[in-house]
Chains A and B, each alone.
Chain A
Amino acid sequence: MNEQAPQEKPVLEPKRGLAEQIKAEHGEDVYRCYQCQKCTAGCPMTHAMDYPPSQIMRMIQLGQEEELLASKTIWVCLTCNTCSIRCPNDIDIALVIDSLRERALKKGKTPAVENVPLFHKYFLDNVRKRGRTFEGELLARYQLKTGQAIGNAGLGLRMFLKGRLGILPESVSNKKAFREIYSRVEKRGGAK
């Protein structure tokens, strides 16, 4: 009487499209990956990742975009390029991971690791202002926001005493013309 219909196993259908888009936009063909896992073997950050690089490649082939853009891996990757130069199929894996980060930002996904995209944003804002980084301002802004100011204040002070922190910002001669580079990139659909 209690017989139940046999449970249906979920069937994972690969979704086409993500790998094709990455190929079109960034020139890297992820379908070339045959899971040798050399990238994962050499990666110095796998301990902090939820999916190692080889698995990221497979997930792209299967079109698992939601999982990819919500992963820690894309924010933990140091872009050390070890994976890219060891790939026997010449996939620039670090560039593929760059492209996932870019995609996550464009689509407004909540990043699994908050501080990394925050730093990148502050860094690029800083460069946009004057064409050159002004480290003092960048660090103050980032560390106040992330609450790291107290831990790092000692280092900042020592850098200052060693004459290694600029007090005044420097800039390119024509800041307005420089900022055009950013506006034109944004007009072409780049992330802000």
Chain B
Amino acid sequence: MKKIGYYKSCSLNASSNDYALSLEMSFAKLGTRLVPIDDWNCCGASSAHSTNELLGLALPARNLALAEQQGLTTLLVPCSACYTRMLTAAEKIRKDDDLAAEINEVIAPLRYMGTVQVKNILEILWNEVGVNEILAAKKHDLGGMKVVCYYGCYLTRTPGVACFDNRENPQFMERLVRMIGAEPLDWPFKTDCCGAGFSLIDAPVTVDLCEKMYERAYELGADAMVATCPLCQTNLDVNQDKLISQKAAPYHMPVFYISDLIGLAAGADFGNKLWRKRFVDPKDLLNRYALA
């Protein structure tokens, strides 16, 4: 069984433990084991880098040093906010010896040498798990389910680091969902900001940012939305539920993680233990596509 390093992170450990469940169950179906970093810490996103650059680099560096010590050379960072911070720290340390020395003094006795490859979920699915494995594991077809793929900010926007996909019009998620039989729609909001970082600070700001995304997705006939980040998923799910109950919004588009769909296709038995954790209930939709 293939092993990949895994930065579980605060969200997946608590308020988005449904993502952890989804990832772990779907990866088991794909013959890949996720190995968490022992003794990981919060990477500080987004408060650390927002107020103190050195702290914003040192907190991720501690995790990178621990992963390196454990021999985890390829590291999945499922949360996009964590991903961009871990990637930024890894790249800055790699490119700047003085900065590397300073950060290593801050995290001593730990020391990061620069050997860890920080990867997001799409890169891991595409390059590490592999297209062949995903196709070989496919037991169910998603039957043309119409989805909009949401990348948000940080999957493709880490300044100063080459991006795995097109920054403004990425396609990896569309390719993945097409492989398992869903129909990705051409939707212009896929890299817009949903404001998730502010969902605890100023919720109304985020409702406004999300509403225009729902409107367009609904007009296009989307059955569901697909996300990769726990902050985006929760924000899109909670705000949609809010608009449905408070403003009688006409849409009902469950917000899946990419791992939910990959797992469903591979026959993962998620059932109520996963779906009950969501706000916009996906069960009717799954029944309609014979995926429940």
Chain A interface residues toward B at CB < 8 A: 25-26, 44, 48, 78-82, 84-85, 90, 92, 94-95, 98-99, 101-102, 105, 115-117, 119-121, 123-124, 127, 131-133, 135, 139, 142, 151-152, 155, 158-159, 162-166, 170, 172-173, 178, 181-182, 184-185, 188, 190-191
Whether B49 is near chain A, meaning CB under 8 Å from some CB there, is yes
Task: Assess the B200–A163 pair: CB atoms within 8 A.
Answer: no
The CB with the most chain A CB atoms within 10 A, among B18, B41, B105, B205, is that of: B41
Whether B107 is near chain A, meaning CB under 8 Å from some CB there, is yes
Task: Assess the A139–B53 pair: CB atoms within 8 A.
Answer: no
Residue in B58, B157, B197 whose CB lies within 8 Å of A181? B58
State the Cβ distance, B66 to closest chain A Cβ, in Å: 10
Residue in A123, A185, A191 whose CB lies within 8 Å of B106? A185
User: A159 to B15, alpha carbons, bound, how many Å?
Assistant: 7
B279 — which chain A residues lie within 8 A by C-beta?
158
Task: Assess the A102–B41 pair: CB atoms within 8 A.
Answer: no
Task: Assess the A164–B51 pair: CB atoms within 8 A.
Answer: no
Nearest residue, chain A, Cβ from B57: A185
Q: Given A81-B159, A124-B44, A185-B58: A101 and B50 within 8 A (CB)?
A: yes
A-B contact pairs, 29 of them (CB 8 A): A44-B192, A44-B193, A78-B198, A81-B154, A81-B158, A82-B153, A92-B160, A98-B50, A102-B53, A116-B201, A120-B50, A124-B48, A127-B48, A132-B41, A133-B10, A133-B14, A155-B238, A162-B277, A163-B17, A164-B17, A164-B277, A165-B14, A165-B15, A178-B62, A181-B106, A181-B107, A185-B52, A185-B55, A190-B52
Nearest residue, chain B, Cβ from A118: B201
Task: Assess the A127–B51 pair: CB atoms within 8 A.
Answer: no
Task: Assess the B157–A84 pair: CB atoms within 8 A.
Answer: yes
Nearest residue, chain A, Cβ from B66: A172
Interface size class of B (residues with CB under 8 A): 35 or more
- Listed from nearest, the 5 A-B pairs whose CB atoms lie closest are A80-B193, A81-B157, A120-B47, A123-B47, A84-B159
Secondary structure of the A contact surface, majority rule: helix
User: A142 to B14, alpha carbons, bound, how many Å?
Assistant: 18
Task: Assess the A132–B13 pair: CB atoms within 8 A.
Answer: yes
Residue in A102, A119, A155, A173 whose CB lies within 8 Å of B201? A119
Whether B167 is near chain A, meaning CB under 8 Å from some CB there, is yes
B70 — which chain A residues lie within 8 A by C-beta?
none
State the Cβ distance, A170 to closest chain B Cβ, in Å: 7
State the Cβ distance, A88 to closest chain B Cβ, in Å: 13
User: A84 to B154, alpha carbons, bound, how many Å?
Assistant: 12
State the Cβ distance, B62 to closest chain A Cβ, in Å: 7
Whether B42 is near chain A, meaning CB under 8 Å from some CB there, is yes
Whether B16 is near chain A, meaning CB under 8 Å from some CB there, is yes
Task: Assess the A85–B62 pair: CB atoms within 8 A.
Answer: no
Task: Assess the B55–A182 pair: CB atoms within 8 A.
Answer: yes
Whether B186 is near chain A, meaning CB under 8 Å from some CB there, is no
B159 — which chain A residues lie within 8 A by C-beta?
81, 84-85, 92, 94-95
B59 — which chain A residues lie within 8 A by C-beta?
127, 181
State the Cβ distance, B39 to closest chain A Cβ, in Å: 5
Task: Assess the B53–A99 pair: CB atoms within 8 A.
Answer: yes
B56 — which chain A residues lie within 8 A by C-beta?
98
Q: Given A44-B209, A79-B46, A164-B15: A131 and B41 within 8 A (CB)?
A: yes
Whether B276 is near chain A, meaning CB under 8 Å from some CB there, is yes
State the Cβ distance, A186 to closest chain B Cβ, in Å: 9
Contacts A80-B193, A99-B53 supplied; 11 other A-B pairs, CB < 8 Å: A44-B193, A92-B159, A115-B202, A116-B202, A127-B48, A133-B10, A133-B42, A135-B14, A162-B276, A162-B278, A190-B55
